[in-house]
Chain A
Amino acid sequence: MSERNRNIDSDEEENYINWKIKKLKKQVRRSRRERKARQSCSAAPPADATDADKIKTVHKDTVDETEIENALVVTCSRMWILTMAPIDGTFDYDLAVIGGGSGGLACAKEAVNHGAKVAVLDYVTPSPLGTKWGLGGTCVNVGCIPKKLMHQAALLGESIHEAVSYGWEVPSPKDIKINWSSLTEAVQNHIKSVNWVTRVDLRDKKIEYINGLGEFKDAHTIVATMKNGSKKELTAKNVVIAVGGRPHYPDIPGAMEYCISSDDIFSLAYPPGKTLVVGAGYIGLECAGFLNSLGYSATVLVRSVPLRGFDQQMAHLVTAEMEERGVRFHHKCVPLSVEKLESGQLKARWQNTDTGEQCEDVFDTVLMATGRYALTKALNLPAAGVTVVNENGKISAPSEQTNVGHIFAVGDVLEGRPELTPVAIHAGRLLARRLFAAGVQHMDYDNIATTVFTPLEYGCVGLSEETAIARLGEDAVEVYHAYYKPTEFFIPQRNIRNCYLKAVAERASPQRVLGLHFVGPVAGEVIQGFAVAIKCGLTMEQLMNTVGIHPTVAEEFTRLNITKRSGKDPNPASCCS
């Protein structure tokens, strides 16, 4: 291959493709033989095995065809690349992963498990405030992990007060307050330990870790700029883009200079004090929620609706609960400016987009939670020939493959995919199997459960009521719903008004469940198992025939029996109110 140059003539190209196809067919035949051999070792009853084998063989034939086709596409695109860069057929690595977050690391580890030589590049550009962190990506450093820990800190504070109702003698519960620096230190220590474990894991798996900012020089060559400015060049047969995203700052005076984001809050060197949160997506609501519970006044600016993209009835329960706990919401408001006062405090101004009315207030901290952008700009993608980048910087790559056959993308950089750690991990792993272990399985991005860790949590899986109605029509959708009372809420007389759940199902028998929604304590733990059920094709009948565990909040799903259509009261019976 080394003598191939820019002037490849078409005959040579055809020869090469034919040779490659032959080789691939051989490979496929071999893997089929191996798979058969493996099957014969399994302990399945012989009578069933023949039938099953038949089906599998038929199925596999079709799969193999597509495999060859895919490989052909890859080969063709490689041909094009061969003319672009001086490649001698051998690369430094089988796989280079740009971005050491959840998706990139999962992909790298899986690839190594299948014998590939892998390099991972990871680099964190400091936030406008100067916050930086270690290996492991958003989730570990400035996302799910610190968020969940701060949420837990908030819940514990509430529990101290509830404990009094249960008979605990707490000396002066009114004086209980959080020590912000102890909290951030504990959270950051945990994160550092995870960074270390990740680092050791890479060493143990013999994955080359390069602490440098990667960019493409050409389709197979990546240049890493190290911390000290030196450059390191490497070539790889396959490249996975897993650079993720960073918080977006609105283009208003003072945003970059004085505001913080979720990148900074979990390691903030001083207590945030009275905080303005701009944005009511899940990041904004979670931050406002734990800050309020930790004792810091929180105000939220909502541009359009809270939790856009989520079921809106549930979103309103979440914000109603937050409001009842003291979080202030300004709806239909966009920020105009943030200026620093002599006192060091920040004066924020905003405008109501409906009435045009302008308001202002003084805060200690302004936190921007106005969305995230993908970090693709710094990658120099044009040099690699990757063109499937949208206006917002996201990569459009169904099945994770870009227009350049050997360049892939996983995680938050992908257009139209949920920005969730387990999604990135799963997609990364499956991609590595397809690349290095003749895998054929693709990521299923449907029915992925998630949870918003607001003071009262919201867990969901599948379709929202709005989406189900938009897709199937109102007449074809049945919604079962109920308000419920968690047993442990009675004694401390906790607010039960927003404890609510619903199942969105097809109206026609057997009433396949399309979506499950739950607002209440430990929503994530509740919804995870039900996500499996939905993956298995759960119907309302099966759900209603499931015996619950008493007393739990999750059992409420098995007790659903009132439809919205019936107009019956979904409130539980009460002894006194």
Chain B
Amino acid sequence: MFARKITNVFVRNSFIGQSTKLYRNISITTVKHDIVKIQSTDDFKEKVINSKVPVVVDFFATWCNPCRLLTPRLESIISENKGKVVLAKVDIDEQTDLALDYEVSSVPVLIAMKDGKVQHRLVGLQDTDKLRKWIEQFTNEESKAKVKA
């Protein structure tokens, strides 16, 4: 009975990238572990909500094929950014309440967070270029905000 809805789980529809202005990033923040796996709601609070650097939260499921494809792409881009942005991985089956709180229905869902606030949301499998642009834009907005401040 539920099977007919399964196709909806893997949303391939993607975020439409807007024109991005490139800013030179002058970041002095260094993070030892820029990819973390969230273990609990408290862990999420500590590593995501209270994070000083912007965080990309990857809501994923072990059973989701698009998630598996997304993971290596995402991780390589995060390591390109050398600590400017942290990747927090949330297994929706282990941290169901967190996923439901952030209104995750189809996976994968990427949420860009800064100061505990959701800035952007990206649903579905993305190609590497789009992903890189999205993360760049997000981190650039961040540095832009810093410049303004």
Cβ contact within 8 Å between B96 and A198:
no
**Given the complex, which residues of B lie within 8 Å of A145, measured CB to CB?**
3
Cβ contact within 8 Å between B2 and A198:
yes
**Given the complex, which residues of B lie within 8 Å of A139, measured CB to CB?**
1
Cβ contact within 8 Å between B1 and A193:
no
Shortest B129–chain A CB gap in Å is: 28
Q: A140-B2, A194-B6 are in contact. Are A189 and B105 (CB under 8 A)?
A: no
Cα A196 to Cα B6 in complex, Å, equals 10
Cα A136 to Cα B1 in complex, Å, equals 10
Shortest B19–chain A CB gap in Å is: 34
Q: A136-B2, A145-B3, A421-B1 are in contact. Are A192 and B96 (CB under 8 A)?
A: no
Cα A204 to Cα B5 in complex, Å, equals 14
Cα A102 to Cα B8 in complex, Å, equals 20
**Given the complex, which residues of A lie within 8 Å of B64, measured CB to CB?**
193
A190 at the interface (CB under 8 A from B): yes
Q: A190-B6, A190-B63 are in contact. Are A196 and B1 (CB under 8 A)?
A: no
- Interface hub of B2, B62, B93, B107 (most chain A Cβ within 10 A): B2
Question: B93's closest neighbor in chain A, by CB?
Answer: A192
Shortest B146–chain A CB gap in Å is: 37
| Per-position 1/0 for A98-114, Cβ under 8 A of B | 00001000100000000
Cβ contact within 8 Å between B61 and A197:
no
A32 at the interface (CB under 8 A from B): no
Shortest A193–chain B CB gap in Å is: 5
**Given the complex, which residues of A lie within 8 Å of B93, measured CB to CB?**
192, 195-196
Cα A291 to Cα B147 in complex, Å, equals 66
Q: A185-232: which residues lie under 8 A (CB-CB) from chain B?
A: 188-190, 192-201, 203-204
A-B interface contact total, Cβ < 8 Å:
47
Cα A425 to Cα B2 in complex, Å, equals 12
- What is the interface size of chain B, counting residues whose CB is below 8 A from a CB of the partner? 18
B31 at the interface (CB under 8 A from A): no
**Given the complex, which residues of A lie within 8 Å of B9, measured CB to CB?**
193, 196-197
**Given the complex, which residues of B lie within 8 Å of A192, measured CB to CB?**
61-63, 93
Q: A140-B2, A196-B9, A197-B2 are in contact. Are A204 and B63 (CB under 8 A)?
A: no
| Per-position 1/0 for B88-126, Cβ under 8 A of A | 000011001000100011010000000000000000000
* Of the residues B1, B3, B5, B92, contact of A425 by C-beta under 8 Å: B1
Q: A102-B1, A140-B2 are in contact. Are A193 and B61 (CB under 8 A)?
A: yes
Q: A336-366: which residues lie under 8 A (CB-CB) from chain B?
A: none
**Given the complex, which residues of A lie within 8 Å of B100, measured CB to CB?**
199-200, 203
Binding site for B on A (CB under 8 A): 102, 106, 136, 139-140, 145, 188-190, 192-201, 203-204, 421-422, 425
In the complex, besides A189-B63, A196-B9, A197-B6, 6 extra interface pairs with C-beta distance below 8 angstroms are: A139-B1, A190-B63, A192-B61, A195-B93, A196-B61, A201-B2
6 interchain pairs (CB within 8 A)? A140-B2, A190-B63, A193-B64, A196-B93, A197-B8, A204-B105
